[in-house]
A and B are shown apart, each in its own frame.
Chain A
């Protein structure tokens, strides 16, 4: 795992939304690295900034959002320093995206085949129809769809099939990084499992890195190797999934795992009382301090830094920075 080359490096990324009343710090100083071919999860609850981050990685932050600082290195180049035209070229050919609601992201009046063809011709120029069709049909079978889907319209497909069309589109240009933002949140469990199976298969075949964004810790545990837990615009903890679920260090991660209903023991779950802080004026210290059961004096004063406590296990919590010092 450690020998792998980093493909995506995010350094101190800040994305704020500026509105009349002030600015919302949706992503506030986030850093992480994703290696070639690994699957990396970003979990968090609604409003923690995970989708904004996906948009930033794709160079798609639009007004009122602005990138306030930081760098995003994709295969060595800082994409934030590129102009729009260059980002357009990179997007999809090097970093592609699978949106949350496949239902709403396909064009209802275009056949599936031509929508995928669009992606290819935009980036690679004109290609003879015959080759193009062959290539697209091959893509469709890669994601487990029959060839006739090529000539179908989105409304003729079920939710799971549409989501697979989106996967086919995302891998059409064989990117290095695939970002999937809650790709299965609107699907039934069985279909979800089939779609995730497909996604992991194609990712492994391509050797691409997968960034899976979501709120479902169960799904993350099944799919990803490493995981970042986000809370209120910041990263609370990053680590290998295997260690994180057994031995999480950040109180938020611990509580989040405890809040999940299991299938072993009944009545065995508890929530996290309180609400996430407003991102308008985040608290002076740790963003989790108002809900944390282990809150200390310094938590309300100083923002904890993300520190590597154990190899490959980073935590932003004063409880643990104590130990290090």
Chain B
């Protein structure tokens, strides 16, 4: 796939640092006056995104696994308890204003709820006008209109059907595509998409996922695709990281991880996906232990212990480190020691 796009002369790109680097990121949420009941939403998480060639990296996990916390940390909405997020080699917490502005422009976000992100009082056009103004993308009105229309066409919308309308007049799928168009307008290098299709109907979901793949292939935009849905992750992503309770359970090439998962948790997840084929029913039964038992046992050891079919003694002593089990394939499980 040809990803050769106009190379902008950029002082930042002189260093060969990866586009985005996340080092030992930890976020602990406290509660109560004395910060008792602390909970680590994300623990010691590291990853890096090279940026070119562009890739789609999925962060998958159940609710409470820390995937949204990760997105918010990368976007700078949350301050990490420990560790840092580096964009083009610079820590986003301490970077100068100019780099911050570049970061804000080149890293865009798409959120889950396509209803909540719009101000219902303004027509759709305003979404584009604001970014065009903020980042001085156009010299005059005509140009502004032209680039807006271009962006809408890229995401498969007809400008005359969208511009001038109010958010309530559009469907969820249209609104989510407008968000992609808005992000596209800024020529980003990375889009953090937090559950972008979970509220979209199946027939439209596929269309949005196709647009994401198209933006990656033809415009060199990398994606961090955050999802609970392994089947869409399998379809579009190059790499996948599966989180469980704030820790990486397994990571690697998306196709390999999902077609032959190694970590018992990921195996359970993949088996539980309801396959749209009555001839492939769920195999066996799954039982969940009561919640409080989960917490008691797993204070020190592997957090998946209670639910794991392969419990071993060692699992209770220390949390398992990530073991290398293949080319770029890691799993945090003592089975692979």
Mark A residues whose CB is within 8 Å of B. 45-46, 144, 146, 158-161, 188-194, 197, 215-222, 241-242, 245, 255-257, 259-263, 266-273, 275
Residue of A nearest to B281 (CB): A222
Q: How far is the CB of B218 from chain A (nearest CB, A)?
A: 15
Contacts of A192 in B (CB 8 A): 272, 274
A222→B173 CA distance, assembly (Å): 27
Q: Would you mind naming 20 contact pairs between A and B with Cβ atoms under 8 Å apart? A: A45-B201, A46-B201, A188-B62, A189-B228, A189-B269, A189-B274, A190-B288, A194-B286, A217-B276, A218-B273, A218-B275, A221-B277, A259-B202, A261-B232, A263-B259, A266-B234, A267-B236, A271-B204, A271-B206, A272-B207
Q: When the two chains form the complex, which single residue of B202, B255, B259, B287 contacts A215, counting CB atoms closer than 8 Å?
A: B202
Within 8 A of A (CB), among B277-327: 277-279, 281-282, 285-288, 290-291
A222→B276 CA distance, assembly (Å): 7
Q: How far is the CB of A220 from chain B (nearest CB, A)?
A: 8
Q: When the two chains form the complex, which single residue of B228, B234, B274 contacts A188, counting CB atoms closer than 8 Å?
A: B228
A308→B286 CA distance, assembly (Å): 39
In the bound complex, do residue A262 and residue B231 qualify as a contact, i.e. CB atoms below 8 Å apart?
yes
Q: How far is the CB of A184 from chain B (nearest CB, A)?
A: 9
In the bound complex, do residue B206 and residue A259 qualify as a contact, i.e. CB atoms below 8 Å apart?
yes
In the bound complex, do residue A219 and residue B274 qualify as a contact, i.e. CB atoms below 8 Å apart?
yes
Q: When the two chains form the complex, which single residue of B62, B210, B258, B275 contacts A271, counting CB atoms closer than 8 Å?
A: B210
A319→B236 CA distance, assembly (Å): 34
Q: When the two chains form the complex, which single residue of A146, A256, A257 contacts B290, counting CB atoms closer than 8 Å?
A: A146
Contacts of B278 in A (CB 8 A): 221-222, 241-242, 245
In the bound complex, do residue B203 and residue A255 qualify as a contact, i.e. CB atoms below 8 Å apart?
yes
B270 at the interface (CB under 8 A from A): yes
Within 8 A of A (CB), among B214-269: 228-232, 234-236, 255, 258-259, 268-269
B213 at the interface (CB under 8 A from A): yes
B172 at the interface (CB under 8 A from A): yes
In the bound complex, do residue B270 and residue A263 qualify as a contact, i.e. CB atoms below 8 Å apart?
yes
Q: When the two chains form the complex, which single residue of A191, A215, A268 contacts B235, counting CB atoms closer than 8 Å?
A: A268
A273→B228 CA distance, assembly (Å): 25
Contact mask for chain B residues 32-54; partner A; CB cutoff 8 A; 1 contact, 0 none: 00000000000000000000000
In the bound complex, do residue B62 and residue A261 qualify as a contact, i.e. CB atoms below 8 Å apart?
no
Interface residues of B toward A: which range? 35 or more
A256-B274 contact, Cβ under 8 Å, with A158-B291, A190-B288, A268-B235: no
Contacts of A268 in B (CB 8 A): 235
In the bound complex, do residue B235 and residue A267 qualify as a contact, i.e. CB atoms below 8 Å apart?
yes
In the bound complex, do residue A275 and residue B171 qualify as a contact, i.e. CB atoms below 8 Å apart?
yes
Q: When the two chains form the complex, which single residue of B174, B236, B275 contacts A221, counting CB atoms closer than 8 Å?
A: B275
Contacts of B104 in A (CB 8 A): none
A256→B255 CA distance, assembly (Å): 24
Contacts of B232 in A (CB 8 A): 261
Q: When the two chains form the complex, which single residue of A242, A267, A275 contacts B213, counting CB atoms closer than 8 Å?
A: A267
Which of A46, A190, A215, A268 has the most chain B CB atoms inside 10 A of its CB?
Answer: A190
Contacts of B210 in A (CB 8 A): 270-271
B205 at the interface (CB under 8 A from A): yes
In the bound complex, do residue B205 and residue A271 qualify as a contact, i.e. CB atoms below 8 Å apart?
yes
Contacts of A220 in B (CB 8 A): 276
List 4 extra interface pairs beyond A189-B230, A217-B202, CB under 8 A. A197-B282, A269-B235, A271-B203, A272-B204
Residue of B nearest to A268 (CB): B235
Contacts of B201 in A (CB 8 A): 45-46, 215
Contacts of B231 in A (CB 8 A): 218, 260-263
A222→B275 CA distance, assembly (Å): 7
Which of A45, A216, A218, A271 has the most chain B CB atoms inside 10 A of its CB?
Answer: A271
Within 8 A of A (CB), among B175-212: 201-210
Which of B230, B259, B282, B288 has the most chain A CB atoms inside 10 A of its CB?
Answer: B288
A217→B282 CA distance, assembly (Å): 14
Q: How far is the CB of B305 from chain A (nearest CB, A)?
A: 16
10 nearest interchain CB pairs?
A: A271-B207, A271-B206, A218-B274, A272-B203, A45-B201, A188-B62, A261-B231, A218-B276, A259-B206, A261-B235
Residue of A nearest to B307 (CB): A190
A263→B234 CA distance, assembly (Å): 7
Within 8 A of A (CB), among B13-62: 62
In the bound complex, do residue A189 and residue B202 qualify as a contact, i.e. CB atoms below 8 Å apart?
no
Q: How far is the CB of A251 from chain B (nearest CB, A)?
A: 12
B133 at the interface (CB under 8 A from A): no
In the bound complex, do residue B277 and residue A273 qualify as a contact, i.e. CB atoms below 8 Å apart?
no
Q: How far is the CB of B60 from chain A (nearest CB, A)?
A: 10
B119 at the interface (CB under 8 A from A): no
A257→B203 CA distance, assembly (Å): 9
Contacts of A46 in B (CB 8 A): 172, 201
Contacts of A272 in B (CB 8 A): 203-204, 206-207
A245-B276 contact, Cβ under 8 Å, with A188-B228, A190-B62, A263-B259: yes
A160→B231 CA distance, assembly (Å): 22
Contacts of B230 in A (CB 8 A): 189, 263
Q: How far is the CB of A188 from chain B (nearest CB, A)?
A: 4
Residue of A nearest to B213 (CB): A267
A262→B277 CA distance, assembly (Å): 10
B63 at the interface (CB under 8 A from A): yes
In the bound complex, do residue B270 and residue A260 qualify as a contact, i.e. CB atoms below 8 Å apart?
no
A158→B270 CA distance, assembly (Å): 22
Q: How far is the CB of A20 from chain B (nearest CB, A)?
A: 15
Contacts of B259 in A (CB 8 A): 263
In the bound complex, do residue A189 and residue B272 qualify as a contact, i.e. CB atoms below 8 Å apart?
yes
In the bound complex, do residue B272 and residue A190 qualify as a contact, i.e. CB atoms below 8 Å apart?
yes
A133→B202 CA distance, assembly (Å): 43
A182→B207 CA distance, assembly (Å): 23
Q: When the two chains form the complex, which single residue of A221, A270, A273 contacts B274, counting CB atoms closer than 8 Å?
A: A221
A124→B47 CA distance, assembly (Å): 60
In the bound complex, do residue A194 and residue B202 qualify as a contact, i.e. CB atoms below 8 Å apart?
no
A190→B309 CA distance, assembly (Å): 14
